[in-house]
Structure 1
């Protein structure tokens, strides 16, 4: 009797089941997601970033020294490129710059890094102005 009862209930219990295809849409715009999500994701990443760069403020004297070195190098570069240089040795603190006028066809600039001892030599042809 129970089996008949189940056969009678089976048509009543079966109903139509609908299914759709699963589709994946990425969130990250780098992988094809909506470009409007970019700023949101960047903000979330930056808020979770615990890394902080070690910033040491340079003192006035250090900034002044760096400014003097930059000005010296700029003026030396300009005078060499204009052909109005004087041969000699210039010490910028971190580098020793030697301008050699021994070759009649070329201007030789030798730069020595004081900390590492590395020497770079630049040979520039003379330009008649």
Structure 2
């Protein structure tokens, strides 16, 4: 029977030693310095993001596109010549009043047909003589 008071005493001691516990609110602390976190976290977060980034941007430089300087020059020269040809064709199909003249204009590679539709509408059909492909659009001249 002597053990029973000893058990009560030990329970009292254990409950007395545990003390009182207090709870507090949880507080959010951001990691990212952009959102108010510690600025020392910036390099670490950047390195982690770069390690996960597998995207490779395609460079517009000549070496990445596979074109040499000569190829680029030839491409620009061809564009300039085509621009002059299109200007010459445009001057032959545009009247002095600035309106398109119905008819057919042919170059070595293209056939341009301008057809007068009703109500001042014109249809322009461009045909590639080599491939047979056509493009067309309509213009209102009023």
- Please report the TM-score for the alignment, with normalisation by the length of structure 2: 0.48
In structure 2, relative to structure 1, the CA distance for the partners of 1:7 and 1:35 (3 Å cut) is: closer
Figure out how many residues of one structure are paired with residues of the other and give that number: 116
User: 1:87 aligns to what SS in structure 2?
Assistant: strand
* Structure 2 counterparts to residues 86-105 of structure 1, below 5 A: 87-89=105-107, 91=109, 98-103=111-116
Given the alignment, which residue of 56, 78, 82 partners 2:65? 56
In the other structure, the counterpart of 1:94 is none
* Structure 2 counterparts to residues 1-129 of structure 1, below 5 A: 1=3, 2-24=6-28, 34=35, 44-52=48-56, 55-72=64-81, 74-75=83-84, 76=86, 80=90, 83=94, 87-89=105-107, 91=109, 98-103=111-116, 106=122, 108-110=124-126, 119-126=134-141
Pairwise CA distance, 1:12: 2.0
Structure 1: distance between partners of 2:87 and 2:25: 68
| Structure 1 contact 99–110 (Cα < 8 Å) conserved | yes
User: 1:123 aligns to what SS in structure 2?
Assistant: strand
- Please report the TM-score for the alignment, with normalisation by the length of structure 1: 0.51
Structure 2: distance between partners of 1:16 and 1:78: 96
Superposed CA RMSD in Å reads 4.6
Structure 2: distance between partners of 1:78 and 1:68: 17
Pairwise CA distance, 1:5: 2.6
Listed as ranges, the gaps of 5+ residues in structure 1 are 92-96
Structure 2: distance between partners of 1:46 and 1:78: 53
Pairwise CA distance, 1:118: 5.5
User: Larger C-alpha radius of gyration, 1 or 2?
Assistant: 2
Q: Give the number of the structure whose residues are more often helix, by fraction.
A: 2
